[in-house]
Structure 1
Amino acid sequence: MANTGVLPFVRGLDFARNDFSDGKFPEAVSLMTGVQWLKLDRTNLNEVPKEMGQLLKLEHLSLTRNNLEKLHGELTELGCLRTLNLRRNKVRNSGIPIELFNSEELSTLDLSHNNLKEVPEGLEKAKSLLVLNLSNNQIDSIPNSLFINLTDLLFLDLSNNNLETLPPQTRRVANLQTLILNNNPLEQYQLRQLPSLVNLETLHLRNTQRSLNNFPTNLEGLVNLADVDLSQNMLPKVPDALYSLPSLKRLNLSENEITELSTAIELWQKLQTLNLSHNKLKSLPASLCKITTLRRLYVNDNEIDFEGIPSGIGKLGLLEIFSAAYNQLEMIPEGLCRCVMYFVDNSSGVLIISYIFKGMKDIVTEKNKNKQEDETRAESLKPKRWDEKLEKPPLNYSEIFEDDAGQIPGLCIWEIENFLPNRIDECTHGKFYEGDCYIVLKTLLDDSGSLTWKIYFWIGKKASLDKLACAAIHAVNLRNYLGAQCRTIREEQGDESEEFLSLFDTQITYIEGGRTLSGFYTVEDMIYEIRCYRIHAAGASIHLETVAIAPESLDPGYVFMLDAGPKIFLWYGKTSKNTLKSKARLMAEKINKNERKNKAEILTEMMGKESTDFLRVLGIHDDEYRLVPQEHVDPDFVPVQPRLYQVRLGMGYLELPQVEIPHGKLTQNLLNSKNVYILDCYVDVFVWIGKKSTRLVNAAAVKLSEELFNMIDRPDFAMVTRVREGTESQ
């Protein structure tokens, strides 16, 4: 970079994911005095490069996920700095210079996920701050002076700290739109300042020890409050003050102690999502049926029976999801026939998850489509002029996109599934699966008050060709539907534009695999997920217990299989039994034959003599690291028996009766090629797809397996895996 100083037109530099440790930062950057934004995420920095002190026009600086403990004086010289993102470092209070906050331009500051024990000294001088994120630190108090000057704040995140109260001056930040206080011990805090925050739109108080005694009695002034999270608290009923919120759209009251709902819920005439899961409800009031805007209703893990569901629930014409897992339902209410519903583990003794009449609707739609095709085919036999053949068929985009798409300022995201866009929930915004494609719509208001739009389509690096093509096509369809005078912008994983990244409040994350099905059922090159298994004896066979891919998982008394796709490692502990070693070898050979076409390499690793390749796959990149496994597995450990469910089409719904597994051993004769099965191993969930099964049942089974997966807490390394008949082994 010796000649970078001759590029005065350069306005931004993205150096993310480089290694600039030990003074490797390029000195020539200091010559690029016109640079306005600089991205140094994941660059292994342990100090701020001195070259940055020369970038006097720098406005936006991102230093996330480094090893910074101190911020030296170089940052205090950047008088034009507007955005400073120091998320996920090791910054301490002693490492932050007071002069850093003297800038009159600083409007966005992110110090989340650091080692702060108190609010940085001098922060109250940053009078232009609009966005402040101090979450995930160890802060136990907020100084009185902080909110006296920071009256322009729009966004404040103090979640995951040790706060017991907030100062009275909190009422001065009257412009605040988002307040997040999740996971703080605020039992003694009365929230008296809350009614003064009249511009509040989002309020998250999850796990803050809320009760009826420390919740405000009057919130009538919060006419803009649309998103409230009061989950994981101690509420015996819905606080009366919530009924006075006219703009409420999303309300999360899950994991409380609520026993009944007031008829006053009908006052929530804009409510779209209501989560009441994990409470003590026995019934839902009839007034619920008057919330005609309701789209998603979650009442999992309550005590609701058939009589507890109001008969008029069918009047909720916009209801898309009614989730009632773990209740006492024996029958499906007729009024819910238009919804996507989940009734799991109810008192009937049969696991019934209804995807339901939506499937019947799809069948009817398919029949109508065939009828129309027959009519079209007959019409095509009539002679036509040559220019008539050039006419394009009209498209009804309202059947593809929702009526409210692009009508409200904010962000909407659709994932591509089976050729069509499927809108995803706001809680998953910024989380992209590598095997999927998405359409992202940003709706804005211009100076005249008119709506404007920006449309992007995001491509995962492992996405199939049909998803990529459909994302591009439907992005254009969305533009046509809105009548937008804008272009559609392609964004690729790992190469997203700054404009796209700025759409999200936090850094976007990539998730391995794909959440949605491809529209095609073509044979593709196998993509291997690296997995690690601990081998146990199970009678005449063996059991593979999924464990984390980490050195800590290894135990000297066991054999482990580290499956890396082209290479299968068998690690033998010093005190492991020879019978386990031989059976593990046979299992590896079976996997190689059935799944890898005998192209994988089976490698043996002896404890204390591990190869570099094995250590690399295990996540160890230090050549001097010495692997010393410890005994930690309970000698009385007994693997949990898996549960096998058959997915089949019943009378208008999908049934999942449990299949008995004799002696806990899954054999081929339990499976029928005409059906789809879900195997829940309590860590992983597998979907077995028979060769003769229908496409409708296949698609539903994948969604149902994800519901099963999310119903209980599983390890971070757990996953849902699809297995087609003929490729199974493990």
Structure 2
Amino acid sequence: GIYVLSQNRLVSISVLKMANTGVLPFVRGVDFSRNDFSDGRFPQSVRLMSGVQWLKLDRSNLTQVPEELGHLMKLEHLSLTHNGLEKLFGELTELWSLRTLNIRHNKVRSSGIPAQLFHLEDLTTLDLSHNVLKEVPEGMEKARSLLVLNLSHNNITAIPNTLFVNLTDLLFLDLSHNQLETLPPQMRRLANLQTLILNHNPLGHFQLRQLPSLVGLETLHMRDTQRSPANMPTSLEMLSNLRDVDLSFNDLPKVPDALYTVPTLRRLNLSSNCITELAMALEVWQNLETLNLCCNQLTSLPASLCKLTSLRRLYLNNNKLDFEGIPSGIGKLVNLEVFSAANNHLEMIPEGLCRCGSLKKLILSGNRLITLPDTVHLLSELQTLELKDNPDLVMPPKPLEAQRGAGVEFYNIDFSLQNQLRLAGAAIPAPSPVTGASKDPIARKLRLRRGKRDHEEADSDQAKILKGMKDIAKEKNKQKTLEEVKAESLKPKRWDESLEKPQLDYSELFDEDAGQIPGLTVWEIENFLPNQVEEVAHGKFYEGDCYIILKTRLDDSGNLQWQIYFWIGEKATLDKRACSAIHAVNLRNFLGAECRTAREEQGDESLEKPQLDYSELFDEDAGQIPGLTVWEIENFLPNQVEEVA
């Protein structure tokens, strides 16, 4: 059984009642989070839960590990986050079944962690982040089974050479937000490592010589690590699995040459550097989906950028790009969904950008725009168009084909001459034969010269037109009367801009870290208040209850995005229905989110078909031929059985 006793001030009585029924040995998981276990209030009956496999004691005012845990010999997952623990000496070293230990957000020192803890043979996940460690705990190199190690947000100044000698099975390593100046050479033994996070460390003198040996690496984050051309490797071609690289907030004047040797990149973040130009060699990134070049010194983009046909998100905010700096062939990026170029020097955008049929977000605020191509109205997938802080902008009129009730196709009539003659029964004249003119090489040269001269004159005329439109817009602004200015100041605000956030203490309703970590968070309405539901109980909704669901994710600029829903059970009482709606709005105000709260009722949920690539599961001709087809489940996937079987 699974029991959730979080925020239950009578937890000791509840456990005592359960002990009297004899049910405790059959309990498999308990959540005691948000109870007050200070001053020895931890229930002694917990020792009777001999079969418990997971236990959560988050935010329970614990200052030491309860000795009752030493009797839970089948415990596999233990979470003690957000407490006041300073040391882990106690019963943890006797829990031989322990696989996951989460001690983040405490006050644990290196001297308070017993070396015997790392002798637990099944320990695979260890989270010691957000503590006060100054060095790696003694004996950690003995934890040979570790797959996930998080030592971030501490004050560690050095990694001992012996740490990575035996930890060769590590898949995830987070050393960010420490004071590391170098890493041991033995790190090259981590051939299975998939994720390495080193953000916010003073690694200016670290040469990354071990990096090419990490052949299994998929994610490399080195934000704010003093990267420069002098301390970057010359090649990373050995990292054939590398997908995600973050080198933002460094001192790079150009894209490191080593990145051009990694054709497997899918996400690249080079924002907040000093990059002035991009090399033509970037066409090697044929799998790249997200490219972030915000806050650099770019004045133009190379034409080879248009060959990145897999690109879906392109961020160019806060650069020095103008109209000529955007390649005219950008329309070849048929999969582009986000083009963000705010705070640049754009007076126009290439018409080719409006041929990106998949474009959903077009961010051009803070530029010098005069107008946009007429075809911007034909972007059928466009959801967001931001054009604020462009004082001279004049939007183009909608073309006829974009207006309802306009154009030949609306009337379904063919007005061509040939069709009208055919309908009238008249003879359709035969097309006159085209006689081939004799080739004259001298005339051809004259035409080419004349064409070049006409093209230069056209460019000059275009520049004059742009300047004229800008002058006209400025003159109109000068001619505005005082009454017009007053009238503009009286324009009503949008409904969402006029709303004021009520002065409430939302900390009594939601945790301070709610919505700060990507993932799913669920609250149920209990006694008129939201009560957070543990992750293991997600998806188990009862028809007599109401729930608030928060989906948190990071966009490609690293900003948090939220979606808020409140779900109403079919038999829920009126007060629960009202509280779920009210607290959903309170959650939005607490987060400072701009999204709307979506109402979902049992039996009338808005289901969306997941965007999956089913071709990896089934053949394209499955279900297209009459007959019987059978699949067997093998390694979690459907495997088609031959007809003879």
TM-score with structure 2 setting the length: 0.59
Contact 1:432 1:510 survives alignment (8 Å):
no
Aligned residue for 1:347? 368
Distance 1:255 1:461, change over 3 A: farther
CA shift digits 1:167-202 (9 cap, x unpaired)? 000001111000000000000000000000000000
Distance 2:584 2:78 in 1: 37
Contact 1:152 1:176 survives alignment (8 Å):
yes
For residue 39 of structure 2, give the secondary structure of its aligned residue in structure 1.
coil
Deviation at residue 130 of structure 1 after TM alignment = 0.4
Which residue, 80, 83, 90 being the options, matches 1:63?
80
Q: Does 1:122 align with 2:139?
A: yes
Aligned residue for 1:643? none
For residue 282 of structure 1, give the secondary structure of its aligned residue in structure 2.
coil
Aligned residue for 1:23? 40
Structure (1 or 2) with the larger CA radius of gyration: 2
Q: Aligned runs of 1:182-201 on 2, under 5 Å?
A: 182-201=199-218
Which protein has the bigger strand share?
Answer: 1
Distance 1:277 1:252 in 2: 9
Distance 1:57 1:268 in 2: 49
Q: Does 1:494 align with 2:515?
A: no
For residue 64 of structure 1, give the secondary structure of its aligned residue in structure 2.
coil
- Sequence identity (%): 61
2:124 maps to amino acid: S
Contact 2:274 2:297 survives alignment (8 Å):
yes
Contact 2:553 2:561 survives alignment (8 Å):
no
Which residue, 303, 317, 324 being the options, matches 1:286?
303
Distance 1:269 1:215 in 2: 23
Distance 1:23 1:366 in 2: 74
Aligned residue for 1:267? 284
Distance 1:176 1:128 in 2: 13
For residue 300 of structure 1, give the secondary structure of its aligned residue in structure 2.
coil
2:536 maps to amino acid: E
Deviation at residue 245 of structure 1 after TM alignment = 1.0
Q: Does 1:146 align with 2:163?
A: yes
Aligned residue for 2:65? 48
Q: Aligned runs of 1:221-300 on 2, under 5 Å?
A: 221-300=238-317
2:532 maps to amino acid: G
CA shift digits 1:262-313 (9 cap, x unpaired)? 1111100110000000000000111011110000000110010000001110
For residue 126 of structure 2, give the secondary structure of its aligned residue in structure 1.
strand
CA shift digits 1:418-456 (9 cap, x unpaired)? xxxxxxxxxxxxx9869xxx9x8xxxxxxxxxxxxxxxx
Distance 1:23 1:526 in 2: 37
For residue 156 of structure 1, give the secondary structure of its aligned residue in structure 2.
strand
Deviation at residue 20 of structure 1 after TM alignment = 1.4
Contact 1:231 1:255 survives alignment (8 Å):
yes
Deviation at residue 510 of structure 1 after TM alignment = 11
Q: Does 1:88 align with 2:105?
A: yes
Deviation at residue 11 of structure 1 after TM alignment = 1.2
Distance 1:85 1:31 in 2: 23
Distance 1:361 1:43, change over 3 A: closer
CA shift digits 1:517-572 (9 cap, x unpaired)? 999xxx997779889xxxxxxxxxxxxxxxxxxxxxxxxxxxxxxxxx9xxxxxxx
Contact 1:109 1:129 survives alignment (8 Å):
yes
Aligned residue for 1:388? none
For residue 225 of structure 1, give the secondary structure of its aligned residue in structure 2.
coil
Deviation at residue 226 of structure 1 after TM alignment = 0.2
2:159 maps to amino acid: I
Distance 2:593 2:55 in 1: 43
Distance 1:45 1:324, change over 3 A: same
Distance 1:23 1:299 in 2: 56
Distance 2:60 2:139 in 1: 28
Distance 1:44 1:139, change over 3 A: same
CA shift digits 1:206-262 (9 cap, x unpaired)? 000000110011111100000000000000111111011121100000000100001
Distance 2:248 2:581 in 1: 43
Distance 1:271 1:212 in 2: 23
For residue 207 of structure 1, give the secondary structure of its aligned residue in structure 2.
coil
CA shift digits 1:18-53 (9 cap, x unpaired)? 221111111111111111111111111111001001
Q: Aligned runs of 1:633-652 on 2, under 5 Å?
A: none
CA shift digits 1:563-583 (9 cap, x unpaired)? xx9xxxxxxxxxxxxxxxxxx
Deviation at residue 15 of structure 1 after TM alignment = 1.2
2:121 maps to amino acid: E
Distance 1:109 1:366 in 2: 60
Q: Does 1:7 align with 2:24?
A: yes
Q: Does 1:79 align with 2:96?
A: yes
Distance 1:500 1:296, change over 3 A: farther
For residue 291 of structure 2, give the secondary structure of its aligned residue in structure 1.
strand
Distance 1:315 1:528, change over 3 A: closer
Distance 1:194 1:85, change over 3 A: same
Deviation at residue 508 of structure 1 after TM alignment = 9.0
Contact 1:129 1:152 survives alignment (8 Å):
yes
Distance 2:36 2:551 in 1: 21
Aligned residue for 1:99? 116
Distance 1:530 1:102, change over 3 A: same
Distance 2:170 2:313 in 1: 32
Q: Which 5+ residue runs of structure 2 have no aligned equivalent?
A: 1-14, 384-397, 406-411, 413-512, 540-549, 555-559, 567-577, 596-645
Aligned residue for 1:173? 190
Contact 1:33 1:57 survives alignment (8 Å):
yes
1:497 maps to amino acid: E
Distance 1:141 1:346, change over 3 A: same
For residue 176 of structure 2, give the secondary structure of its aligned residue in structure 1.
coil
1:341 maps to amino acid: L
Distance 1:356 1:188 in 2: 52
Deviation at residue 327 of structure 1 after TM alignment = 0.4
For residue 132 of structure 1, give the secondary structure of its aligned residue in structure 2.
strand
TM-score with structure 1 setting the length: 0.52
Deviation at residue 498 of structure 1 after TM alignment = 2.7
Aligned residue for 2:450? none
Distance 1:212 1:493, change over 3 A: farther
2:255 maps to amino acid: V
Distance 1:528 1:296, change over 3 A: closer
Distance 2:365 2:225 in 1: 30
Distance 1:171 1:199 in 2: 11
Contact 2:552 2:561 survives alignment (8 Å):
no
Deviation at residue 497 of structure 1 after TM alignment = 3.2
1:343 maps to amino acid: L
1:75 maps to amino acid: L
CA shift digits 1:696-723 (9 cap, x unpaired)? xxxxxxxxxxxxxxxxxxxxxxxxxxxx
1:346 maps to amino acid: N
2:253 maps to amino acid: P
* Higher RCO structure, 1 or 2 (CA under 8 Å, sep 6+): 1
Distance 2:241 2:594 in 1: 44
Distance 1:100 1:299, change over 3 A: same
2:287 maps to amino acid: K
Contact 2:565 2:584 survives alignment (8 Å):
no
Deviation at residue 323 of structure 1 after TM alignment = 0.4
